[in-house]
Structure formats: structure tokens, C-alpha cells
Amino acid sequence: MATIELTKDNFNDTLTENDFVLIDFWASWCGPCKMFGPVFEKASDRHSDLTFAKVDTEAQQELAASFDIQSIPTLMVVRDKTVIYAQPGALPEEALEDLIKQARDLDMEEVRREIAKQQANGGPEEG
């Protein structure tokens, strides 16, 4: 599946219409981004059931700022409109494959229960 370009105009629709989205926050001048790009593209070919998207942090500064992107590349994984992973750094192919497997195996009901528990307690910190 082709990687789609996310903008502030299509971002919410993309996350609403797709259960599993991997997002690469990148910029054309970023060396590590250029190294990670082909790895991300190959994964998108292998996992055609998932949505792979890219956010150009130069063109979409508002979107990058809304996710507090401080360093690029940053990879974000969103399942059922919930961010389950967000880390800066270019992953090697094996690490990206492992991350996708772990994200697929994640019990989203358990994730939602944990988030609800944290929100009920006022945040992730221990009371």
C-alpha cells in the first residue's frame, strides 16, 4: 500500500477511518529521516492491511507542534484512535517489524481500561 501524506486537513479523517496507522514525522533536510524512509516504505509494502502515513514537519508545522514533535524522525503508532507508541529515532528494519508485531498483538481493550484508570486517577502518576 502506498504511504499517504498527512496534513492538518486529512489527519483526523485518516485516524478515524483506519484502525491501525503508523505515522512517520520527517523532514527533507533530515539525514536520519532519509535513511528511515526506505525502511518505512518497505514495511508499508509488506503490511498492506495497515495504513502508513508521513507528516512533513516543515510543511505541517502546526500538526507537528500539536504532537509536540521535538526530534525527527519520530514514529507514532495509532490503534483505534489511541497513540500506543511515539518515539524519535530511525528504526532499523528488524526493529520496525518487531514494533509492528507487538502493536498488532496488543490487547486494545486492556489499553483502554488502563487509560480510563489513569484518567480516573488524574494521570499516569501514582497518587
Q: Is 93 a catalytic residue?
A: no
CB atoms under 10 Å from CB of 53, counted, come to 22
Which among 6, 15, 33, 50 is annotated as catalytic?
A: 33
Which among 15, 23, 30, 78 is annotated as catalytic?
A: 30
Spatial separation of the C-alpha atoms in residues 106 and 74, rounded to whole Å: 21
Q: Is 33 a catalytic residue?
A: yes
Spatial separation of the C-alpha atoms in residues 98 and 119, rounded to whole Å: 29
Spatial separation of the C-alpha atoms in residues 103 and 11, rounded to whole Å: 20
Spatial separation of the C-alpha atoms in residues 8 and 60, rounded to whole Å: 7
3-class DSSP assignment, residue 48: coil
Bridge partners of 20, per DSSP, are 79
What residues are annotated to the active site? Answer: 30, 33
